[in-house]
Structure 1
Amino acid sequence: MLSRTLLCLAVVSASTPLLADTVWLKNGDKLSGKIILFDGGKLLVQTEYAGAVPIEWSKVKTLESDQHLLVKQDAYTGEVAKSLQPAEDGKVTLANGDAPKTVELASIQQMLKPKPVVEDLVWKGNIDAALDYQRADKDTDDYDIDFKTTARHGRWRHTAEGEYNREFQDDVVTTDNWRGEYSLDRFLTDKWFWQGRLVYKRDKVEDLSRQRTVGTGPGYQFWDDELGAFSLGSLLNRTDYEFTDGSKENFYSVAMKWDYNRYLIGKKVEFFTNGEVGKPLSGVAEYALDSEIGLRYKVTDWASLNLKAERNIIEGTDDADLDKTRYTAGFGVTW
C-alpha cells in the first residue's frame, strides 16, 4: 500500500508542470517564464531558453502569475495582487482572496514586485572602479571610482552621483579631483518633471580649483523601464568658479542635460551616455561640456566590466579654459 502511494505521488509529480507565469499574445502565441516588471509599455519576462524577453503591452491578450505583484492603475496608488488569473481578451483578474477583481490591461500603468517597506520604491544604481598601471619611460598609476544611484517613490525621484580621479606620473600627482551631485525630480505628469540640482567639483591640480553649481528647470522622461531609460532636462544654473590664485567668478547659464542607457543582448550589455552642455549668459566663457559614454558587460547578476570615455571642456577666458579627455576600463557592481 505504501509503495503504491509513493508510486502515485511520483507519477503526479512527474506529470505536474513547474509553476511559471504565462503570457498569452493576441496572435495566438504563448510565453512561459517569470514576469519581472511591466513599465513604460514593456512587459519583461525572464525565460529559461531566451533570457529576458520584452513584450509590447499592446500585444498581450491576457496573463497568469502565481507571484505577489503590485499592480498600479495610476501614478499614486496600487493594489498588491496575490496572483494574476487569465480573463477574457484584453483583461486580467487580480486575485486577492474573497474579492477577485477583473481589470482592463489598458488601465494598468505598472506592475512590479512589492517592497517590504515602501511598496512602489524603485532603487537602482552602479559603482565602477578602474585601475591603470603603466611602467615605461614614465611610470603612471591611475585610479578612478564613480557611482550613481537613483530612487523613485511615487512622483519623486532622487539621484545621487559622484566620482574621484587620481593619477601619478613618476610619483608626481598629475590628476587629483572629485565631484558630487544631487538632484531631486518632481513628476508633474507621467513624462514631464521639474528638477532641482546641486553640483560641487574640487580639483587640486588644475587652475580652476572649485566649481559650485545650483540649477533648476523642467525635464522630459521619454522612457524608464527594465530595458533602459532616456531623459532630457533644461536648467537655469548659477555657477561659481574659484581659481588657485584666489580669484573668483560667478555667472548664470542655461544648459541642456541628457541621461541615456539601454540594455542589449538579453541585458548582458549596457550602453550608456550622460552629460551636460551649457551656455553662460555673461561673457565668462563661450560654453562648457561635461559628458561620458561607455559600455558595461554583466559578468554575473551583480558584477560587471566597464569601458568609459569622459570629456570635460570649458571654452572661454584664458583662466577658465579646460579641455580634458579620459579613458578608463575597470570592474563594477550594479543593482
Structure 2
Amino acid sequence: MKSSRTFKPNSSSDASFYRLFDIFALFLAFQCSALFYSFELTAHYMVAVLTVALSFLYCAEIFSAYRSWRAGKFKTMVLCAWGSLFVAFSILFVISFMFKFTESLSRIGLGLWFLLSVVYLYIWRFGVQLYKRNRRSLGMNLRNVAIVGATESAVYLYDEIEKNDELGFKFLGFFDDRKPERLFNNVKTYEISGTIQNAICAAREGKIDILYIALPMKADKRIADLLLQLGDTTVDVHFIPDFLLSNLIHARVEHVGDVDTLSVFESPFIGAREFIKRTEDIIVSSIILMLISPMLIAIAFAVKFTSKGPVIFKQDRYGLDGRKIKVWKFRSMSVTENSAVVTQATKNDAR
C-alpha cells in the first residue's frame, strides 16, 4: 500500500482534559452558588448554564485557550480562561435581556456564580501547574532538548527555552558541522556541543528527547539526510523555519490528494473562522447600532433638513472573493445627476 505523504494531524489529550475540567468547574461553581444562595433551579437557570458553558467553549477557541501550554505562560493561560468567562457571562446577560427573563434570575446568585467560576478556573489550573513544576524540580518529566544548526533561528529558540523554565526542557547544546567563522555572529558566544553526526548518535542512544532542526531551507539535502538517519529513533523531531520562511508562511497546511501545500497568502475566513467572523459581525454590529442609534437619527435629520436629496448615499464596493456589495453612507455632498463619467471628490470640492 502506498504510504500517505501528508502531515498527520496532532491531537492533544491535554486540550480535551482542559475542556472537560473547565466545564466541570463552571457546573461546580453554579451548584455551589445555588446551594449557598438557595435559589430554585428553574428552566431559565438551565438555559443560563447551557448558554454560559457553550459560550465559554466558543470564546475559549477564539482566544486559543486550549493550545499547547507547555510552551506558554501560566498567566496568559489563566487570562485567556478569564476572558472567555467574562464574554460568556456578557452573552448570557444580552440573551436574558433580549428574551426578557432577567427577572427570573438572581443577580446575586449570578454574581456569586461568576466569582466562584473565576476562582475554580484558576485553582485547578494552578494545581496542575504546581504538580508539573514539582515533578520537574525533582528531575521528573524533563525533556532533553538539542538544536541542530547554529543559526539565528536556533539562538532565538534557545533564548526562549532559557527564559521559560516552566517548559521543563533541559538544553543539551547546539550541534553543527560548520567552522566557527561561518556561524551566525550571536552563536559564536555559545559553545558548540558537537557535530550533526554526534546529535544523531545521541538521539539513537536515547539521550535526546526533542531535536530541533534549525538549518536554512537551502540545506534541503542535509535536512533530508538527517531525517533519514533519525527515522528509526524515538526522538521527536521539529523543524524551525528560517526567518524569511516564517514571515511568509501562516503555518497552515493544506492537502491536494497526497500532496501537502503550505499557505503563503490566503483568505483569513476559512472553515470555522468564517462562522466566527460572521457571528461577530452580526452580534457586535447589532449591539453597536443599538448604542449609536440616537446619534444616527440625529445625523439623518441634519442631512435631510440642510440639503435636498436622499439621506443615504449608496456606493458600489468589492468585498470578499471580489463580490460587489452596496455600502450605505450618510450623504455629505450635494446631489448631482448620474453620468457615464464619475468625478471623484477633491479638496474644496464645490459639491
In terms of fraction of residues, the more strand-rich structure is 1
Bucket of the pairwise TM-score, normalised by the shorter protein: under 0.3
In terms of fraction of residues, the more helix-rich structure is 2
Greater Rg over alpha carbons, structure: 2
TM-score (norm 1): 0.24
